[in-house]
Amino acid sequence: MTAEIPENWAPDACTLPTAQQPTRVAEFDALLSESVRAHTRPNRTRLELRLAADAVPAARDLAQRESECCEFFTFEFDADGTVMGITVPPGHIDILDALQARVSPAP
């Protein structure tokens, strides 16, 4: 069973226009449900996603665009790009929880 990200999951700190937020949520849903092969939560403020190699360009693009509207996110990729680290400040752990809840288990 996969948890739903509420429609209003974007915090007030997000500068993405409200009308564009559902599209961005759908992009995250697709990435998290289709392209994550494994994930770890090394601590409460960091989520690490191992991505399918073919998803890396889209993940980098999404991370770049999300960084522009939600400055509280820090996205990092390992050397080969297949591990995407997402870090948030303690006040935004609920957003990281919502993202982690959307990760589908590997087949």
Token representation of residue 42: 């090394």
Give a yes or no: residue 16 inside a domain.
no
Element (H, E) at 101: helix 93-101
Give a yes or no: residue 76 inside a domain.
yes
Domain with 66, as residue range(s), is 39-101
Give a yes or no: residue 45 inside a domain.
yes
Confidence of residue 27 (pLDDT cuts 50, 70, 90): confident
The pLDDT value given to residue 43: 98
Give a yes or no: residue 54 inside a domain.
yes
Note the pTM of the prediction, 2 decimals.
Answer: 0.81
Planar angle of CA 84, 43, 11, nearest 5 degrees = 70
Give a yes or no: residue 50 inside a domain.
yes
pLDDT in tens, 33-88: 899 999 999 999 999 999 999 999 999 999 998 888 878 889 999 998 899 999 99
Give a yes or no: residue 18 inside a domain.
no
Number of domains in the chain: 1
Strand order in the sheet with 74-77: 36-43, 46-51, 83-87, 74-77
Give a yes or no: residue 51 inside a domain.
yes
Give a yes or no: residue 14 inside a domain.
no
The pLDDT value given to residue 55: 95
CATH number at residue 76: 3.30.70
